[in-house]
């Protein structure tokens, strides 16, 4: 009897530790868990801290230490990155044991064949001219295997599939590379959905952003594409589910813009909050779950662009709203959470005109120059993200 009374007392005072989180497949995966702040990104920020300390800017050095504690996504952008998942899961499990809080590990899977078909900066390792689709499926099988280990089964996961992919099937089929890759994008994404079906995994397809797919003429076609890709997954695995969509990944649109910018004049989706509202009824009609996560990692600053199409290393950007699932901040029941997807400090693309992956947008009037290759660490850029953060970052000494 004393044992039962003791157990009841523990349950009463520690619900946050013992309460089961929502399952990734059927509920908001960001409730009842602690999104994991991965150590790999935190380690890269040490260079930024050293820079600020050298400049005797101790306030911003302390603010950068705060960024090290912000939950961010790990990216699996090529085959070589797949084994890194094991270490990420191990680190998250250590945090789970240390804190007693269920860890939500956030991952982007980004490796379709002929990737980035409407631009050049992030072309990937697989190409359709070299059996790229079958190589991609083998890649997905290797990713799925990592999420099937005993360690993985002890965690929760939020996975974003293939940023900047399906949006091209709505707006960029006039680009030859996109037209040629369209079927592979559909089949590859459906295959990834079908193979990444676990009770502890929430899947979000990428839905670009309001400045791309949020125009009235693009909303219904976009929802149709998402619905068709999900049906393609069910043809492979009848129990296939997704949680919803990820928006604004690696982009700079604000969730709730304080001022409507001039170049948004003709769109109802003039910030990401409005984009959610614009797209939701079309998703419901297409039979696709209308749940969203919104990247605000580099969206703190307004007034830094002159058009929506400017996407590469935008000057004067700042870290944005911190990750949260608090509806007092989200103010939209279709939004699961604000997240930081793009690791602030990894370049969008090189400004070197002689590089194979050079894209003219990376040398536009609003781009931060010089810039390294896409994915490479860009410390000068992080310095500005810290200084321009909105809301301002709180300093941390540890």
Relative orientation angle of helices 176-195 and 216-236, to the nearest 10 degrees: 50
Which one is catalytic: 206, 295, 336, 348?
Answer: 348
Tokens found for residue 113: 């064949």
Q: Is 270 annotated as a binding residue?
A: no
HSE at residue 176, side-chain half, CA atoms within 13 A, is 0
Would you say 153 and 200 are in contact if contact means Cβ atoms under 8 Å apart?
A: yes
Q: Is 139 exposed, middle or buried (0-12, 13-18, 19+ CB in 10 A)?
A: buried
pLDDT of residue 21: 54
Which one is catalytic: 114, 116, 295, 336?
Answer: 116
Which one is catalytic: 164, 206, 336, 359?
Answer: 164
Tokens found for residue 218: 């693009």
Q: Is 346 annotated as a binding residue?
A: yes
Q: Is 265 annotated as a binding residue?
A: no
Does this model's pTM top 0.85? My answer is: yes
Tokens found for residue 65: 């230490």
Q: Is 377 annotated as a binding residue?
A: no
**CATH of 34-388 among 3.30.565.60, 1.10.1760.20, 3.40.50.2300, 3.20.20.40:** 3.20.20.40
Give yes or no: 376 in active site.
no
Instruction: Dump strand ranges (E) for 3-66.
Output: 34-35
- CA atoms of 225 and 227, how far apart (whole Å): 5
% of the chain surpassing 70 pLDDT: 94
Q: pLDDT tens, position by position, for the chain (398 residues)?
A: 333 333 333 333 333 333 445 544 579 999 999 999 999 999 999 999 999 999 999 999 999 999 999 999 999 999 999 999 999 999 999 999 999 999 999 999 999 999 989 877 778 899 999 999 999 999 999 999 999 999 999 999 999 999 999 999 999 999 999 999 999 999 999 999 999 999 999 999 999 999 999 999 999 999 999 999 999 999 999 999 999 999 999 999 999 999 999 999 999 999 999 999 999 999 999 999 999 999 999 999 999 999 999 999 999 999 999 999 999 999 999 999 999 999 999 999 999 999 999 999 999 999 999 999 999 999 999 999 999 999 999 999 88
HSE at residue 359, side-chain half, CA atoms within 13 A, is 22
* Other Cβ atoms closer than 10 A to 275: 29
Report strand pairing: 103-109 vs 335-339: unpaired
Domain boundaries, the chain: 34-388
Give yes or no: 348 in active site.
yes
Q: Is 209 annotated as a binding residue?
A: yes
Give yes or no: 336 in active site.
no
């Amino acid at each position: 009897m004393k044992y039962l009374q003791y157990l009841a007392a523990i349950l009463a005072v520690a619900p946050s530790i013992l309460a089961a989180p929502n399952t990734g497949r059927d509920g908001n995966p960001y409730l009842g868990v602690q999104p994991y702040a991965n150590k790999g990104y935190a380690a890269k920020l040490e260079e930024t801290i050293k820079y600020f300390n050298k400049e005797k800017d101790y306030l911003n050095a302390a603010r950068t230490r705060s960024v090290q504690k912000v939950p961010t996504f790990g990216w699996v952008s090529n085959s070589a990155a797949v084994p890194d998942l094991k270490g990420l899961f191990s680190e998250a499990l250590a945090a789970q044991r240390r804190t007693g809080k269920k860890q939500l590990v956030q991952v982007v899977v980004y490796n379709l064949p002929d990737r980035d078909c409407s631009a050049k900066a992030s072309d990937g390792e697989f190409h359709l001219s070299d059996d790229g689709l079958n190589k991609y499926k083998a890649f997905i099988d290797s990713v799925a295997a990592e999420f099937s280990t005993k360690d993985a089964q002890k965690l929760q996961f939020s996975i974003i599939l293939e940023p900047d992919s399906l949006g091209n099937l709505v707006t960029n089929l006039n680009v030859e590379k996109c037209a040629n890759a369209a079927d592979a994008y559909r089949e590859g994404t459906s295959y990834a959905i079908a193979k990444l079906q676990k009770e502890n995994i929430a899947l979000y397809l990428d839905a670009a952003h309001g400045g791309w797919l949020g125009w009235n003429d693009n909303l219904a076609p976009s929802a149709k594409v998402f619905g068709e890709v999900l049906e393609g997954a069910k043809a492979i695995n009848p129990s296939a589910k997704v949680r919803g969509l990820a928006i604004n990944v690696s982009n700079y649109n604000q969730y709730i813009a304080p001022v409507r910018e001039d170049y948004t004049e003709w769109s109802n989706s003039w910030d990401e909050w409005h984009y959610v509202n614009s797209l939701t009824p079309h998703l419901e009609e297409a039979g696709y779950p209308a749940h969203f996560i919104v990247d605000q990692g580099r969206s703190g600053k307004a007034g830094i662009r002159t058009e929506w199409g400017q996407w590469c290393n935008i000057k004067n950007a700042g870290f944005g709203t911190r990750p949260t699932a608090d509806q007092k901040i989200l103010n939209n029941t279709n939004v699961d959470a604000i997240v930081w997807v793009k690791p602030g400090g990894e370049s969008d693309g090189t400004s070197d005109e002689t590089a194979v992956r050079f894209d003219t947008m990376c040398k536009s009037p609003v781009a931060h120059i010089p810039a390294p290759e896409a994915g490479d660490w860009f410390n000068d850029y992080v310095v500005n993200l810290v200084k321009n953060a909105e809301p301002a970052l709180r300093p941390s000494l540890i």
